[in-house]
């Protein structure tokens, strides 16, 4: 039976408001047209959404996994792909029919890019987030090593993820500007035409970057909503109330349906008590009955999407399409 209504859907599942997605794409596209935005597909992991970003003029993409790179190349979106992550086996990347650039932050990852058949790299700089990225003072030596192997060093990248979730605009701005200072200084040592940085939380602060790696802006979540950004919520987990007690109700979505590292999800007009493996326990200001369907807004978009196999594209309560989340996995 063809699914035509959200009330016919299995739960938990993901609802996608395509009109909201398009408005978000248009909003950031006006500020960062064309190559100024390199959309990060790790947020949505869906080639159908990437195609809409491509059609809006954003022809280069940022990825977190080799699987995302392969998936984009397979559907003809490989004009300019950046793996913004270090890898020690780049053979699958070198085999792609696409323009491939990979982030490197050590002699080992430079060598891996070369041996894997990748011809272009960005030097990944630690700008404050204790994750990947070389010390700024090591950037020039890595660039020299890469060029000695015949690799093209396109420039530098850095991710100020340690300030991305700060809700105070002033504090977020100050942190971003300091990170950009570090990145610009490293770029002066490395050279190249690309300074790649940023994300949804700092898209309008990275004035020294040539391209912004925003991803979550397309779908949004409750964590980013706290920062008063000019984007709207475009997806939800659709769930069924399966039990009602005097003080609370329980829906059939839990830890296996949400990314929880940014806290609990939310339900309009309700207070979330807690999530367990398969259950969301909450109290509501309105009457709740067994069998009711609810929209639950995730706190972190990226891992939430990764738990699900597809988006159900909706207009109101009508299901108009189903899009596979086809970039999941590694």
Residue 3 has pLDDT above 80, yes or no: no
In angstroms, rounded to a whole number, what is the distance separating the alpha carbons of residues 227 and 303?
Answer: 20
Report residue 99 as tokens. Answer: 């323009």
* pLDDT for res 175: 95
Q: Write the CB contacts of 256 (distance below 8 Å, at least 6 apart in sequence).
A: 277, 278, 307
Coil, strand or helix: which one is 136? helix
In angstroms, rounded to a whole number, what is the distance separating the alpha carbons of residues 110 and 147?
Answer: 10
Q: Average of pLDDT values for 231-247?
A: 97
| 6-14+231-324 and 18-215, same CATH topology | no
Residue 1 has pLDDT above 90, yes or no: no
In angstroms, rounded to a whole number, what is the distance separating the alpha carbons of residues 123 and 136?
Answer: 10
Question: Within 10 A of 186 (CB to CB), how many other CB atoms are there?
Answer: 28
CATH architecture of 18-215: Alpha-Beta Barrel (3.20)
Q: Would you list the DSSP string of 34-52?
A: GGGB--BTTTT--HHHHHH
Q: Which helix (H) or strand (E) holds 273?
A: strand 270-275
Domain boundaries, the chain: 6-14+231-324, 18-215
Report residue 184 as tokens. Answer: 């610009």
* pLDDT for res 206: 82
Q: Average of pLDDT values for 68-82?
A: 98
In angstroms, rounded to a whole number, what is the distance separating the alpha carbons of residues 86 and 101?
Answer: 11
Which has the closest alpha carbon to 233: 271, 268, 263?
268
Which has the closest alpha carbon to 231: 204, 200, 259?
200
With contact defined as beta carbons under 8 Å apart, do 246 and 253 qualify?
no
Q: What is the mean pLDDT of the chain?
A: 97
Q: Which CATH class is domain 6-14+231-324?
A: mainly beta
* pLDDT for res 286: 86
Task: Answer whether 0.85 is exceeded by the pTM.
Answer: yes
With contact defined as beta carbons under 8 Å apart, do 190 and 226 qualify?
no
In angstroms, rounded to a whole number, what is the distance separating the alpha carbons of residues 153 and 145?
Answer: 10
In angstroms, rounded to a whole number, what is the distance separating the alpha carbons of residues 310 and 71?
Answer: 15
With contact defined as beta carbons under 8 Å apart, do 218 and 43 qualify?
yes
* pLDDT for res 86: 98
Residue 2 has pLDDT above 80, yes or no: no
């Amino acid at each position: 039976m063809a699914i035509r209504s959200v009330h016919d859907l299995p739960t938990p599942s993901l609802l996608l408001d395509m009109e909201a997605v398009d408005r978000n794409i248009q909003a950031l596209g006006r500020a960062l047209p064309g190559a100024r935005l390199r959309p990060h597909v790790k947020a949505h992991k869906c080639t159908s959404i990437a195609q809409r970003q491509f059609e809006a003029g954003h022809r280069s993409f940022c990825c977190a996994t080799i699987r995302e790179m392969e998936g984009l190349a397979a559907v003809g979106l490989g004009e300019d792909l950046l793996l913004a992550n270090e890898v020690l086996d780049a053979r699958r990347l070198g085999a792609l029919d696409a323009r491939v650039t990979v982030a490197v932050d050590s002699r080992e990852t430079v060598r891996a890019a070369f041996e894997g058949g990748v011809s272009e790299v960005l030097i990944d700089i630690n700008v404050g987030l204790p994750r990947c990225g070389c010390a700024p003072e090591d950037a020039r030596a890595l660039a020299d090593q890469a060029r000695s192997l015949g690799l093209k060093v396109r420039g530098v990248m850095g991710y100020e993820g340690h300030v991305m979730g700060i809700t105070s605009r002033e504090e977020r701005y100050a942190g971003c500007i300091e990170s950009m200072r570090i990145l610009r200084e490293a770029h002066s040592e490395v050279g190249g035409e690309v300074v790649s940085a940023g994300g949804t939380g700092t898209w309008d602060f990275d004035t020294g970057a040539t391209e912004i790696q925003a991803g979550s802006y397309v779908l949004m979540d409750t964590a980013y909503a706290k920062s008063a950004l000019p984007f709207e919520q475009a997806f939800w987990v659709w769930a069924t109330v399966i039990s009602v007690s005097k003080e609370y109700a329980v829906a059939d979505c839990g830890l296996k349906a949400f990314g929880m590292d940014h806290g609990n999800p939310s339900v309009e007009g309700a207070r979330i008590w807690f999530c367990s493996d398969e259950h969301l326990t909450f109290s509501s200001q309105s009457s709740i009955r067994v069998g009711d369907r609810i929209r639950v807004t995730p706190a972190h978009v990226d891992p939430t999407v990764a738990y699900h196999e597809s988006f159900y594209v909706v207009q109101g309560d009508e299901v108009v399409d189903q899009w596979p989340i086809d970039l999941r996995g590694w």
